[in-house]
Every structure is written in structure tokens, then in C-alpha cells.
């Protein structure tokens, strides 16, 4: 992070006098890069960070899509992955803290991050406790305030459904297992990449962004936002929090980061879709979020006009969402364990 801050200081004096080509080079020098758009490119990008991606196949991704939308993986048979990571709402649920089994609010009051482009996070969860999407997928499935299931219940439900048995046996040598279900879900999530006009700009199309968006990019670099929001998804790495000041809403929930106080930086891709913001969803507008980041992380005041310019740039990060056709899920059978509602 210090390296990025130094770089932003060096760039600050000249960024507004730059030509489009010079702005592009400055963005690249700051570590901004286009999204990888093929599975091979995704794996190559992950390998740079020491993250090993699970094995991809189209068949596995299709199975994972069904599991992603299937509420029968939850104890109640009411909650699916899509409940909190709604693909029609930018991959989030649009509330400060997610609500799970028995209408239970998240006990730590943490906000559900977007699942779009999540494969490119170098750490998963706000505290980075999972290194990859397979491990991450297991958490919500078994967390009591979320889907409240167990590996045994998930395996039992899947094994009771002949179509799932057939599909798992075709893809996995050992057929249905909790680990394989998480692997399939993560494989589907690998496909949720959202390239935008900003990627065209980074790939050399200087006309892909408007004059106003380019100006916003300049402010974004000048102010030092690239210290943490860099890389292909403009985030996704573990960073120190409250570097320069105190977060006004730090007392909302008990989340304090990992053992070292580090917090996973959220991606800025599709950020106009993902309010409310911050780890506890306490800030609802991009304007307020940008100003808070200025004081909390950078120790600077960001004016209304500067925030507006940055927002204009950030909206260029809204990408093309992959078309997801809601799957027709295979029917339950007489052997399928019944929903456990815990009324």
C-alpha cells in the first residue's frame, strides 16, 4: 500500500495535464489492469497472487449454477446462494447486513459482498479467512445465521434426487459430496466476470471513456484511491483500515478485521449496484462513501465536486453482466429430507 501511496503522490502534480495516452499509462503504472475474460486468463491472474483456482469445466459450471439457485441446500429449503448474492442486484442483497435462517440478522452486522468478479479476490470474506471461492462457498452453507445447513444434510438431499446423482457422477469420480458441491458452486461463480468500457480503455481504446469519466479517473489516481483499489477488480486484497482517521460507524457491529486488523478491500466493479457500502453497510451513497474513505484512509478532504467526478468514473466500471438463465431445478423425491423451518 505504501508503494501505491508514493506513486499517487508522484502522479498528482501532472495527472490533470495529461493526454489521454498519458492518463492510460498512469492508470497502468498505478496497477490498474483489465479484467481477464477467459478461464485460462483468470487462472493466470490468480497464480500471480499465489491463489490456485479449482479445475474448470462447462459441465461443472452448469451444475454449480443449479446449486447456486437451489434453496434445498439450506436447512429450511428457503434460502439459496442467490438470496444474499442476488445476480439481478449486482450480486448483493441491498441491505446493510444479510438475513438468514429463521429471519436471523448477521450477528456481526457484516454486509454481503458482491459475487461478481469475486474469483479475482486474493482473499475471501471481509476478514480474508478463506483463500479461494471453494472454501468460501462452504461458509454460508453451514453458518447458522445464514443457510444453517450441514454437510450431511446437503449430501442427503442431493443424493435423494436422481438427476443430481447422475450429474455429480458424470463430473466427479466420488460423486456427491459436500466438498464437490462447494467446488461446483465456485466453478459457476468463476463465470461471473463483468467487463466494462473501462477495460476497453485499459486495452488501448482511448475513446471508450467520456471526457468526464477520464477526468474522474484522474481525480481517482490523484487522490490516492489506487492505494487500495487497484488491480483488475480495483480491490480484493487485504489492507489496513482506519489508516488516517476513525470510521464514523465503527461501532455498528463488532467486526474488527483479521487478527492484524486488516480488512479485505471491496471491489469497485459495479459499485453503483452494491449499496450500502463498507463492511457493515452503514453508508448508503457513493458520495458519502468516497468522502469517508478520504478522511479514514487517506487523511484528506474530498470536495463535493471531486467526489462527483470520481463517481462519474466509477460508473464506467459497471460492466456487462453475463446472461444467466434461471435453471429449472430437478424435482425432489419421497426420499428427500423435508425442510426444517424451526418455527
DSSP 11-61: HHTTGGG--HHHHHHHHHHTTB-PPP-SHHHHHHHHHHTTPPPPPP-HHHH
Nearest to 67 by CA among 131, 140, 121: 140
84 marked ligand binding residue: yes
Identified catalytic residue from 45, 146, 167, 189: 146
279 marked ligand binding residue: no
CB of 158 within 8 A of CB of 81? Answer: no
Nearest to 109 by CA among 235, 266, 276: 276
H-helix segments, the chain: 2-12, 20-29, 39-48, 58-69, 81-84, 133-142, 151-159, 162-171, 178-189, 197-202, 211-222, 286-293, 304-314
Residues 6+ apart with CB under 8 A from 225: 8, 293, 298, 310
Active site residue 306: no
147 marked ligand binding residue: no
101 marked ligand binding residue: yes
Q: In this structure, what is the dihedral angle of CA atoms 275, 279, 281, 282, given to the nearest 10 degrees?
A: -120
Grid coordinates given for 320: 456487462
Preceding amide of 235 cis, omega within 30: no
Residue positions annotated with a catalytic role: 146
Binding residues for heme c: 81, 84-85, 101, 225, 228-229, 293
Binding residues: 81, 84-85, 101, 225, 228-229, 293
Amino acid at each position: 500500500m505504501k508503494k501505491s501511496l508514493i506513486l499517487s503522490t508522484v502522479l498528482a502534480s501532472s495527472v490533470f495535464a495529461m493526454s489521454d495516452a498519458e492518463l492510460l499509462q498512469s492508470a497502468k503504472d498505478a496497477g490498474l489492469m483489465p479484467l481477464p475474460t477467459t478461464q485460462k486468463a483468470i487462472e493466470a491472474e490468480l497464480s500471480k497472487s499465489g491463489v490456485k483456482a479449482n479445475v474448470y469445466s462447462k459441465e461443472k459450471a452448469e451444475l454449480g449454477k443449479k446449486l447456486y439457485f437451489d434453496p434445498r441446500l439450506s436447512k429450511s429449503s428457503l434460502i439459496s446462494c442467490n438470496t444474499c448474492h442476488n445476480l439481478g442486484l449486482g450480486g448483493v442483497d441491498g441491505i446493510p447486513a444479510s438475513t438468514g435462517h429463521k429471519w436471523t440478522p448477521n450477528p456481526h452486522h457484516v454486509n454481503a459482498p458482491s459475487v461478481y468478479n469475486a474469483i479475482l479476490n486474493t482473499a475471501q470474506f471481509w476478514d480474508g479467512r478463506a483463500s479461494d471461492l471453494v472454501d468460501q462457498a462452504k461458509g454460508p452453507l453451514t453458518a447458522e445465521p445464514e443457510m444453517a445447513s450441514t454437510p450431511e444434510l446437503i449430501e442427503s438431499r442431493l443424493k435423494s434426487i436422481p438427476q443430481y446423482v447422475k450429474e455429480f457422477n458424470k463430473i466427479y469420480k466420488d460423486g456427491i459430496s459436500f466438498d464437490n458441491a462447494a467446488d461446483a458452486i465456485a466453478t459457476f461463480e468463476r463465470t461471473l466476470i463483468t467487463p466494462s468500457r473501462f477495460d476497453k480503455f485499459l486495452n488501448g481504446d482511448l475513446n471508450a471513456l467520456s471526457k468526464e469519466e477520464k477526468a474522474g479517473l484522474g481525480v481517482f489516481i490523484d487522490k490516492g484511491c489506487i492505494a487500495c483499489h487497484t488491480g483488475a477488480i480495483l480491490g480484493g486484497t487485504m489492507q489496513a483500515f482506519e489508516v488516517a482517521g476513525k470510521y464514523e460507524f465503527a461501532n455498528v457491529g463488532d467486526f474488527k478485521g483479521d487478527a492484524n486488523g486488516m480488512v479485505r478491500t471491496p471491489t469497485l466493479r459495479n459499485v453503483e449496484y452494491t449499496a450500502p457500502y463498507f463492511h457493515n453497510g452503514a453508508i448508503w451513497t457513493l458520495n458519502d462513501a468516497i468522502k469517508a474513505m478520504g478522511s479514514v484512509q487517506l487523511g484528506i478532504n474530498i470536495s463535493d465536486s471531486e467526489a462527483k467526478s470520481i463517481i462519474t468514473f466509477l460508473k464506467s466500471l459497471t460492466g456487462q453482466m453475463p446472461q444467466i438463465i434461471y435453471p429449472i431445478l430437478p424435482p425432489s423425491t419421497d426420499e428427500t429430507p423435508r425442510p426444517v423451518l424451526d418455527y
